[in-house]
Structure 1
Amino acid sequence: MLAASVTSFSPDSPLDGLEVGDAPEPVDREHWVTVDVRAASLNHHDLWSLRGVGLRRQQLPMVLGTDAAGVAPDGTEVVVHGVIGADGHGVGPRERRTLLSEHYPGTLAERVAVPAANLIPKPAGLSFEEAACLPVSWLTAYSMLFTAGGLAPGDSVLIQGAGGGVSTAAVLLGVAAGLEVFVTSRSEEKRERALSLGVAAALPPGERLPHRVDVVLESVGQATWGHSVRSVRPGGTITVCGATSGDASPAELTRLFFQEIRVQGVTMGSRDDLAALVNFVSRHDVKPLIDSDHRLRDTSEAMARLLTGTQFGKVVITT
């Protein structure tokens, strides 16, 4: 089958280790099923894998990809939850949690094997391309806003960065939920696009907000951490899902403990969270924003788009 795999690590030039070509068919396992992948979407996790983060050389080649939508063996249209292990479904209760493409082959392929319990029915109102955006970025945004952040209609949130998969998901989910949403971006064009999605204000990085917010969504790290700590209200929460600009330094611990600010890490969410997200987008008629759509054979071009950081929404792969 055709698949996009990491075949070597290159920290400074990650696309050098990407190869699109023949890969072994999924392995049959008890309580697992093989899904015909119709669409997948790219995540920064894929770039980190190409750089050698989270993988060992003896695991190569490894099929990339952590989310997908497709068709199950019984013909059901499904969304694939990409977290494997931790709760015993299909792998045993003692296997540590991993994401697809870390221990088991990922979703950037014509077919992928997952535990049967990891399949969620695809919303009828979403295309395969739109549904493929949900399992990683959208699930992470949902968890940051509502599970870890505990936000409710009328609350306020700052989303650091505009344009990436998590940030655009958080904007659309937050607006649909009745939150007061602020975003930051270095790009005037991205700020204008965020305003068109219904945010209350779109500001340059580091600019003071009209008021401090209940929750900050932090995925940038070093470049925005200080602003995040200064922008959240006393007793508020900073939810963190990444650090694309590097680890924050200093951590500003004095401000954190003096103002009793809670910092909560988030990596995607549970199958129940994904089911709740699918319910949410169906009821509110929210559709993921797609930046660009590429064929599987053109994954290198799609990864290059993600690497530039110029995308607004999700970069999608279709088989």
Structure 2
Amino acid sequence: MHTPSVVASRSLIVAAALATFALPSGATSQAQISLPNTPGQISLGTGVQSLNLDALPYQSAGGVTFVGKAQADDGTGTVRVYSEIDSRGVSGFPDVMTGLTLGQTQSQATLIGTPGSDPVDVTFVFRFDGSFHTYSGNVFHQLGASLTLSLPSTTVPFTQVNYGSSLSFSSYLLDDTVVNTTSKANVTYFEPGFIWKDVPYAGATHTVISDSMEDLIGEVRLTVSMSAGQSFQLIANLHAQVNVEPLIPIVGSQDYSQSWGAVDGFNTGRLSILLPQGYTLEGNTGLLSAAVAPPVPEPATWGLMAAGLAVLAAFARRRAA
């Protein structure tokens, strides 16, 4: 079973591997379908990466059917995932118990602003939605998202400081109408002497907007203070996992022959980057070049607005008189 911690640790491993390279600004996308004891499928590159959009089923030698599809677009920050498993009619212990789909965007960029200015807060937001379905028997569902931001360490050479925020929805055994949520907000780094630290981080938050089986909506948010000229790496993940499970408590032999269900996260998971006024990101990929804060009115604009309001107030008084 791929738990949220496993998915998050994969992100950190990727980020740590990238720490030894000087990467140019840019972005990549990844779509992945994973099944036990099979080679799996991965599509990795720039732009839109997709797998099995036609929803063609995979059938194991033991008769378990799995349908997975995934899509990620680094230009818009959109990620979509879908997993469905069906073990109806399979006797004994199924040769496939779980299926996972993963969508990911990865960005490398540099914050551009006034050199020498005070550090500013940059916020990364990943909002996602989906639904759980149990068509037959008992099924474990999970839909989760995570953000991982990596900055070069200023105290231990060749290492990184990794900020993380994650949120996942899950339904457990015999709780097919109850959705559980788990989250994590942390920062990991090496102290001098290569002492590993994993501590809570207040700048990482999550919001559960809806947690019903038919309507799952969540948001993970990560705010980090950066200076102009600071380079960073950002990984945004969305995964959908589904498992066949026996009913508990078990009466007689375990029966996997009725399990059929799906995790649908193929509507829209969307990543956005919120920058302070006057700051941009180096790079010409879609998401990075579009990451700007809403404009703030100039003082002259405020003056015109105030003058206009004064004229409207005077006109209203004349009409009242």
Q: Which has the higher helix share?
A: 1
Shorter-chain-normalised TM-score: which range?
under 0.3
TM-score (norm 1): 0.22
Q: Which has the higher strand share?
A: 2
TM-score (norm 2): 0.22
